[in-house]
């Protein structure tokens, strides 16, 4: 198993932002986004990374940015390390496969979630209240496909959980006109990629997007349809009424839950077999989608 890359240092290149997985460097009029192999669970970055995870996220995101560019613009300029600016040449091998140069954009402060199936926090809310992000539905079962994909925005949180909000609340945060456009484009992109993935044997149960403003134009930023931002199910494992196994970090979450850990720092270490099996799930998702 290759060594996980959990931190990227680029002396002389200013670090603009560090997220749970990505590090963003300032290139002046553009940014360099580097996807590390870090993995988080329950709002904590775990001590061990998953080897190759950042490369998988980067390759998938680049593929989807290209696939959906006819629906909406995105921030990707290039992921070809050999065409990166001269100041990045000393770091070419470190950056190869796990980085992209992107447009600078002002982040729009909501998460744009699209749900096609009843799972995760939406299922928890539905069991308790009979609603999904405030919208009432009748006689649905766990993992059931919804009549139509729905837009369920959430607040963006730099620490702690994102909180589900109504579309009206999203409109109050970013403006009704912009919220309506984000809803329209989020669902349009989801439908296009859902159809593609379905033909590859994968169900995309739900996903989340981030948008930014490039001038007055809303564009897609960050990542797209990765196992970190989406719930991927294998078609052959899908069954209404049950939670299918997924190609994402739910496997890690399930392991941590089995320890009766209180979800407070410090996080438990991940044993080698959990790291290996998680890596296999990410690789399998990429193999199916990009084959």
**Residues paired with residue 217 on neighbouring β-strands, in sequence order:** 214
Q: Which domains does the chain have, with CATH numbers?
A: 15-104 (3.30.200.20), 107-248 (3.30.470.20)
Pick the range with the lowest mean pLDDT from 7-21, 155-169, 178-192.
Answer: 155-169
Write out the two tokens for 284: 């399998």
Q: Is the dihedral of CA 278, 283, 288, 290 positive or negative?
A: positive
- In this structure, of 97-111, 115-129, 159-173, 197-211, the range with the lowest mean pLDDT score is 159-173
Residues 43-64 have pLDDT tens digits of 899 999 999 999 999 999 999 9
Q: Give the pLDDT confidence score for residue 260 in this predicted structure.
A: 86
- Length of the chain in terms of residues written: 291
Classify strands 44-45 and 76-78 as parallel, antiparallel or unpaired: unpaired
pLDDT tens-digit map of 87-103: 999 999 999 999 999 99
Mean pLDDT of 121-125: 93
List Cβ neighbours of 73 (8 Å cut-off, separation of 6 or more). 214, 217, 219, 220
Q: How far apart are CA 230 and CA 225, in angstroms?
A: 6
Q: In sequence order, which ranges of 68-114 are alpha helices (DSSP H)?
A: 92-95
């Amino acid at each position: 198993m290759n060594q996980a890359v959990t931190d990227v240092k680029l002396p002389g290149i200013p670090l603009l932002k560090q997220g749970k997985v990505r590090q963003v460097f300032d290139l002046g009029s553009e940014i360099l986004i580097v996807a590390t192999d870090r993995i988080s669970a329950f709002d904590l970055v775990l001590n061990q990374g998953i080897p190759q995870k950042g490369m998988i996220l980067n390759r998938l995101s680049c593929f989807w940015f290209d696939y959906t560019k006819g629906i909406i613009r995105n921030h990707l300029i290039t992921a070809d390390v050999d065409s990166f600016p001269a100041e990045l040449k000393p770091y070419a091998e470190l950056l190869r496969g796990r980085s992209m140069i992107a447009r600078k954009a002002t982040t729009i402060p909501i998460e744009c979630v699209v749900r096609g199936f009843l799972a995760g926090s939406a299922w928890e809310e539905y069991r308790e209240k009979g609603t999904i992000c405030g919208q009432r539905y009748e006689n649905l079962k766990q993992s059931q496909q919804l009549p139509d994909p729905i837009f369920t925005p959430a607040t963006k949180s730099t620490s702690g959980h994102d909180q589900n909000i109504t579309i009206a609340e999203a409109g109050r945060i970013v403006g009704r006109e912009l919220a309506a456009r984000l809803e329209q484009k989020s669902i349009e992109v989801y439908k296009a990629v859902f159809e593609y993935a379905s033909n590859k044997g994968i169900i995309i149960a739900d996903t989340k997007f981030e948008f930014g403003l490039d001038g007055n134009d809303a564009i897609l930023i960050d990542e797209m349809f990765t196992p970190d931002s989406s719930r991927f199910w294998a078609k052959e494992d899908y069954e209404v009424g049950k939670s299918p196994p997924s190609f994402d970090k739910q496997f890690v979450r399930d392991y941590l839950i089995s320890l009766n850990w209180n979800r407070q720092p410090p996080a438990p270490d991940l044993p080698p077999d959990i790291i290996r099996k998680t890596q296999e799930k990410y690789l399998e998702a990429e193999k199916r989608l990009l084959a």
